[in-house]
Amino acid sequence: MNSSNDPKKYDVILVAGEGKSSYKVYHQNKAFLTLQGKCVILYVVEALQQVQSIRDIYIVGSKEKLDQVLHSGRIDRQYPKRIHVVEQK
């Protein structure tokens, strides 16, 4: 995470992983459900990109699937916020 000491900026961690106790909707991870043709996680990322007090966005989950969804959603991973995808362990 960014080590800047700016007290007005925060990093965000989105948890989009899967596990035994994860609650699924229609047998699918909620982050990847589609609403009006777009994955839920894309709506969340787009909203967070507009928040001025957010510095970087970290998303934890299936790196392969998240990379694919972000790419297909044409999300710029450098602007307006840096987006880091972290593989779930």
State CA 18 to chain mean position distance: 14
* CATH number, position 75: 3.90.550.10
Is the whole-model pTM more than 0.75?
yes
- CB–CB of 16/59 below 8 Å? yes
Domain with 20 in it? 10-87
How many angstroms separate the CA atoms of 57 and 48, rounded?
8
- Residue 25 covered by a domain: yes
- Residue 19 covered by a domain: yes
CA dihedral (6, 9, 14, 63) positive or negative: negative
Tell me the pLDDT band of 84, cut-offs 50, 70 and 90: very high
- Residue 81 covered by a domain: yes
- Residue 1 covered by a domain: no
The domain tally of the chain equals 1
- Residue 4 covered by a domain: no
- Residue 5 covered by a domain: no
Q: Give the pLDDT confidence of 9-64 residue by residue, as tens digits.
A: 999 999 987 766 566 666 677 788 888 999 999 999 999 999 999 999 999 999 99
Exposure pattern of 52-80 as b/e (b: 16+ CB <10 Å)? eebbbbebbbbeebbeebbeeeebeeeee
What pLDDT shows up at residue 21?
59
CB atoms within 10 A of CB 27: 5
